[in-house]
Amino acid sequence: MKQLNARKQPTARNHRFPNGRFRCPWVMPRPLIVHYHDTEWGVPQHDDARLFEALTLQTFQTGYYWDVFLRHRRQYRDAFAGFDPQRLARLESEDVLRLARHPGIIHTREKISATISNARQAMKIQEEFGTFDKYLWQPVGGGPIEHHFQTLADYPGRDGFSDALSTDLRKRGFLMTSTGVCYAFMEAVGMVNDHTLSCFRHAEVAKTDRAGKSD
């Protein structure tokens, strides 16, 4: 997840932090962002609810700094039934109005409605493939694609996999799943290892096996 102000520095290299560690060039010295980068971003995720959460938050994130959502993640999980597609799919129009007034989340009725609609489509995928996880990971062979980026300019923002995922999700009725949203989602859940080569997390994430567990 590249931060908005980091995008203004297209040749930016990794940041060296006071502890001597180098981190990806999009990582700003904000505690929530640093913790997210160091412990979660790029780590293969295979839990259906967490995958649906990551995809949903990417649709919400456009135009905001990511730490805004990290600060309010608990409120989002409470508001959206833990991002369990089966629970979310049962929400009705009155729930959209209720969530639109929720004080702890950034929202629009359009995005709330899209989230509920997407949950219903995710349920259909679960019925077809067994899990949302299996559907999402199948195109990349079930394991992360290793990239070898060095600067912010190397990040593509989209690729053939995100194009294909976006196209198929939209064919299945998903809303707000552009190829850019899909690529950021793939980065977040470890479908691609986009930690730059000199970032200390690149090698650690590269050791993660297909099951999403460290060697």
Digit-coded pLDDT (tens) for 110-148: 999 999 999 999 999 999 999 999 999 998 988 899 999
Q: Are strands 15-16 and 192-193 parallel, antiparallel or unpaired?
A: unpaired
Please, what is the angle between helix 179-188 and helix 160-171, to 10°?
110
Residue 215 has pLDDT above 80, yes or no: no
Beta-carbon neighbour count of residue 52 at 10 Å?
Answer: 25
Residue 21 exposed, middle or buried by CB count within 10 Å (0-12, 13-18, 19+) = middle
The full set of domain ranges for the chain reads 6-46+135-206, 65-128
- The strand ranges marked E within 103-186 are 145-146
How far apart are the C-alpha atoms of 209 and 215, rounded to whole Å? 7
Digit-coded pLDDT (tens) for 3-36: 433 333 444 556 667 667 899 999 988 899 999 9
> What b/e readout covers 123-140, taking b as 16+ CB neighbours within 10 angstroms?
bebbeeeeebbebbbeee
Digit-coded pLDDT (tens) for 31-78: 999 999 999 999 999 999 999 999 999 998 877 788 888 999 999 999
Report the pLDDT value the prediction gives residue 14, as an integer from 0 to 100.
61
| Element holding 193 (H helix, E strand) | strand 192-193
Q: Are strands 145-146 and 22-23 parallel, antiparallel or unpaired?
A: unpaired
> What is the CATH code for 6-46+135-206?
1.10.340.30
Beta-carbon neighbour count of residue 3 at 10 Å?
Answer: 17
How far apart are the C-alpha atoms of 30 and 211, rounded to whole Å? 30
Residue type, 24: C
Nearest to 182 by CA among 147, 212, 158: 158
For the whole model, what pTM was predicted?
Answer: 0.88
184 near 192, Cβ under 8 Å? Answer: no
